[in-house]
Amino acid sequence: MLGGTIAQDCQALIEQKCAEKGWTIVGLAIQPDPLHLFVRVWPTDSAAEVVKQCKGLTAHHLRQKYAVLRRLPSLWTRSYVASTAGHVSQEIIQRSMAAQKGLEDDPYL
């Protein structure tokens, strides 16, 4: 469901939430099924909080705007995968995200 203008609006909402919270988007890849977000957050913000904030905002606004999304039982599943970058460089993570779907021209990657 995340394609075209829905994907563009989803990206804008995530950018808005991250800016509001002071989080830095390092990589963002919105694909029809998965969404990959590589974000630098404050040490006091948990991965669960980042996911909750982004999913909550996007689900609310996108379902209001697009009737097709209101027919779904929910926009997002409850699941997510979170990982810290640790000793992996930012460049390696960005290349990995880009390679998954040929997103080499993405402005965040």
Give the integer Cα–Cα distance in Å for 96 and 36: 11
- Residue 19 falls inside a structural domain: yes
- Residue 107 falls inside a structural domain: no
pLDDT in tens, 8-36: 999 999 999 999 999 999 888 887 777 88
- Residue 84 falls inside a structural domain: yes
The backbone torsions φ and ψ at residue 2, rounded to the nearest 5 degrees and listed phi first, read -90, 85
Residue 81: is its pLDDT beyond 70?
yes
| Other residues' Cβ atoms within 10 Å of the Cβ of residue 10 | 23
- Residue 73 falls inside a structural domain: yes
**Counted domains in the chain:** 1
pTM of the shown model:
0.77
Q: What is the CATH number of the domain that holds 14?
A: 3.30.70.1290
- Residue 43 falls inside a structural domain: yes
